Structure 1
Amino acid sequence: MTNVEKTIRETVLPLLELRVSAYNLLRWAFLQEPSKEFLQSLSESVLQEFPFQDENTEISQGVQDIINQLQQPDFLSEETYDRLHWDYTRMFIGPYELPAPPWESAYLNEERLLFQKETLAVRRAYLKYSLIAKEYGHEADDHLGLELDFMYQLSLLAIQKIHEEDYGGIVEILLDQQDFLDEHLLKWVPDFCQKTEQSAQTKFYQGMAKILHGYLMIDRQAVAELISYEY
């Protein structure tokens, strides 16, 4: 193993694995109403291991918000589950006016319409990697959960490229992730997170909004650092 390969496996690979873990948790938190399986999979240890808490107070505060709710004796009760389910539905699905719509075009399109140029731009980014959004044609491609899933899928692909020793492929993926953060997620998610924090009726979603905002900010730095390595 060359020095470059050793550096990549000891430095780049662990950071990519952290990013996979973070995006996996975040995509499920915002992709759909919380399932009982997802809530049961959360634990203090899972949240305490969420990356970059020491570097970002927003992440650490969000983690603590959720841990505080996890520690409630009724966290997995039907009543709590229904409350979380309604909080998600009320904010992100309807039937009433949404306080925090989870689509990019709801923030960047002048008329706040879905399936517009913003949605098509996101779709083109997916198609470069032969990825088709879940519920294609029914759910807009620029839904937050789908955009986070895209970042998750590309992070997995970057790890695969390391094992294939395709270092040029890694850089291309990282550049595309950097572009997706700059041109999509970071243009609207800060506003979304602020609206979610203000309108959420549970500490769970207030905490998730803090984690999401803090993580995207620091992940942009992490991607730039990964791109700067000598591959």
Structure 2
Amino acid sequence: MNQENGSKAQPLLEMRVLVYDILRRTFLEEPTKEFLNLIMDKEFTEEFPFAEENEEIHEGIAQIAVFLQEHDLKSEKEYNDLLWDYTRLFIGPDKLPAPLWESAYLNKERLLFQEQTLKVRHAYLEYQFLPKYFRQEADDHLGLELDFMYQLSELSLNYLQHQDFMGLRKVLTDQKTFLQEHLLKWVPELTAKILDSSNLSFYPGMAKILNGYLTLDLEALVELLDMDYESVSK
């Protein structure tokens, strides 16, 4: 194994797991107190990965920092206000300002469970990834798509550690394709809707982090795929 490339790749792959874990938990379900404790930790805003490399991530982190200064999420009222903002934006019961399904952006009629959903499901099934709420929640929900990227990020790290470079290249290529064909096609519009519609600044901040990171991750995947892992024998 090329030791230089391996030593460069591992921290980046580990960071991808960390970031996708945070992003999937942000959008997959209503904010839990456990999740918010993670966000309230100073390390989240002071040491979030790639904040200096991407202006949108930097802006999102700064917005979250200000939000945390102005709101005590340990207060039941403040916590419930944040829950309501998530519910109003992403769940209902009224018309959703910022629906979290790919089909709502890429389907002409803005209907769910359409062609986009089936394409996403096909990508999942190649890795035997079965969403938690299969057949109850459309497969192209943002939280599930981010969860899929998280699972593949863990798998790519595992392949590197076991020096399975063929498996590593395939899973990195599939992640790059999934970003290009799915997430990057609709998350920018979703981000704009969240920025326009939120009552609180928490989800606009997280949406900026999400949008900035997806763009940055595509560059990271290109870099990872360009590395020559096999040029030095094990």
**Could you tell me how far 1:147 is from its partner in structure 2?**
0.3
How does 1:141-152 map onto structure 2 within 5 Å? 141-152=139-150
**Could you tell me how far 1:51 is from its partner in structure 2?**
1.5
TM-score norm. by structure 1 comes to: 0.96
Take 2:105 and 2:62, find their aligned partners in 1: how far apart are those partners? 29
The 8 Å contact of residues 122 and 142 in structure 1, kept in 2 or not, is answered as yes
- What corresponds to 2:166 in structure 1? 168
The 8 Å contact of residues 90 and 99 in structure 2, kept in 1 or not, is answered as yes
- What corresponds to 2:89 in structure 1? 91
The 8 Å contact of residues 154 and 177 in structure 1, kept in 2 or not, is answered as yes
- What corresponds to 1:213 in structure 2? 211
Alignment RMSD (CA, Å): 1.1
Take 1:150 and 1:73, find their aligned partners in 2: how far apart are those partners? 32
Take 1:34 and 1:165, find their aligned partners in 2: how far apart are those partners? 37
- What corresponds to 2:55 in structure 1? 57
Take 1:91 and 1:75, find their aligned partners in 2: how far apart are those partners? 19
The 8 Å contact of residues 71 and 78 in structure 2, kept in 1 or not, is answered as no
Kindly provide the amino acid, as one letter, of the partner of residue 217 in structure 2.
D
- What corresponds to 2:18 in structure 1? 21
TM-score norm. by structure 2 comes to: 0.95
Kindly provide the amino acid, as one letter, of the partner of residue 64 in structure 1.
A
Stretches of structure 1 lacking an aligned partner (at least 5 in a row):
none
Take 2:209 and 2:194, find their aligned partners in 1: how far apart are those partners? 12
- What corresponds to 1:186 in structure 2? 184
**Could you tell me how far 1:136 is from its partner in structure 2?**
0.2
**Could you tell me how far 1:203 is from its partner in structure 2?**
1.4
User: Does structure 1 residue 159 correspond to structure 2 residue 157?
Assistant: yes
**Could you tell me how far 1:113 is from its partner in structure 2?**
1.2
**Could you tell me how far 1:75 is from its partner in structure 2?**
2.6
**Could you tell me how far 1:48 is from its partner in structure 2?**
2.5
- What corresponds to 1:229 in structure 2? 227
User: Does structure 1 residue 11 correspond to structure 2 residue 8?
Assistant: yes
Stretches of structure 2 lacking an aligned partner (at least 5 in a row):
230-234
- Give the % identical residues: 53
Distance 1:159 1:79, change over 3 A: same
The 8 Å contact of residues 9 and 224 in structure 2, kept in 1 or not, is answered as yes
Q: Deviations over 1:193-215 (max 9, x none)?
A: 11001111111111001101111
User: Does structure 1 residue 138 correspond to structure 2 residue 136?
Assistant: yes
- What corresponds to 1:31 in structure 2? 28
**Could you tell me how far 1:73 is from its partner in structure 2?**
5.9
Kindly provide the amino acid, as one letter, of the partner of residue 159 in structure 2.
K
Greater than 6 Å deviation, 4+ residue runs: none
Take 1:204 and 1:196, find their aligned partners in 2: how far apart are those partners? 10
Take 1:186 and 1:206, find their aligned partners in 2: how far apart are those partners? 17
Moved more, 37-46 or 11-20: 37-46
- What corresponds to 1:41 in structure 2? 38
**Could you tell me how far 1:221 is from its partner in structure 2?**
0.6
The 8 Å contact of residues 196 and 205 in structure 1, kept in 2 or not, is answered as yes
**Could you tell me how far 1:216 is from its partner in structure 2?**
0.6
User: Does structure 1 residue 204 correspond to structure 2 residue 176?
Assistant: no
Take 1:10 and 1:165, find their aligned partners in 2: how far apart are those partners? 12
- What corresponds to 2:232 in structure 1? none
The 8 Å contact of residues 44 and 70 in structure 1, kept in 2 or not, is answered as no
Number of equivalenced pairs: 228
Kindly provide the amino acid, as one letter, of the partner of residue 154 in structure 2.
L
Moved more, 70-79 or 219-228: 70-79
**Helix, strand or coil: the match of 1:29?**
helix
Distance 1:218 1:73, change over 3 A: closer
